[in-house]
Amino acid sequence: MSTAPDPRIGPGALVLVVGPSGSGKDTLLRYARERIDDPRIVFCRRIITRDTSAHEDHDIIGEAAFDEAAARDAFALHWRAHGLSYALPASTDAALSLGDAVVANASRAVVPQARDRYRNVRVVWLDVPPAVARDRLLARSRETADDVAKRLERADAIAPSGADVTVLDNSGPIAVAGERLVALLLDAVAGTRTAQPAISR
């Protein structure tokens, strides 16, 4: 009996870095981006209905424009969190179709949607103690102390489950979790193309 082909987008790997607010997602991704020199690994630039900041590099969009784009399926993935709208650009699908690995800061809530859309999803959950998360949120000076407290109250600290989930302790020096993420990304893209990966020194 023949097996029907998998209709999901692939063969590339979508690596979603998720975790509660203050877990260090942007910092960890910045570390990995500076360490990796491999065109097969794409660091996704998100689209967010928020102004730019020193702590995150993203494209800005208004709420009305976001809703219109989402209605016509102009995004690869999109979700709501903390009163804002987030999306991964359509170029994500093209890169994954070519066999690249695409890595993105994402919400735990979008993981089921990603698994339905893509053949090869890897979820990296960043685990940090609440006190560490609070100090990091206050240090970035993007929100008031009350806003930080509310954000931490809303944080769902339960890691997503599944064979595709890797838990990283990101409470220590950034290089510790950073090197583990670098290794995971190189492994995710291994075998998808003939080019050999390289790490910048």
DSSP state letters, 64-129 = HHHHHHHHTT-EEEEEEETTEEEEEETHHHHHHHTT-EEEEE--GGGHHHHHHHEEEEEEEEEE--
Sheet order of strands, 75-81 included: 59-60, 47-48, 84-89, 75-81
pLDDT at 71: 96
Q: What count of Cα atoms within 13 Å lies in the side-chain half-sphere of residue 166? A: 18
pLDDT at 138: 54
Q: How confident is the model at residue 10 (pLDDT cuts 50, 70, 90)?
A: very high
Does pLDDT of 200 surpass 60? no
pLDDT tens digit sequence for 77-133: 999 987 899 999 999 999 999 999 999 999 989 999 999 999 999 999 998 766 655
Domains and CATH numbers, the chain: 9-189 (3.40.50.300)
pLDDT at 115: 97
pLDDT tens digit sequence for 12-52: 999 999 988 778 888 999 999 999 999 999 999 999 997 76
pLDDT at 117: 96
pLDDT at 146: 59
pLDDT at 60: 87
Q: How confident is the model at residue 2 (pLDDT cuts 50, 70, 90)?
A: low
pLDDT tens digit sequence for 133-189: 556 565 555 555 555 555 555 555 567 888 899 998 888 888 999 999 999 999 998
pLDDT at 81: 84
Alpha-carbon gap, residue 177 to 49, rounded angstroms: 29
* Residues 186-195, mean pLDDT to the nearest whole number: 70
Q: How many CB atoms within 10 Å of residue 166?
A: 14
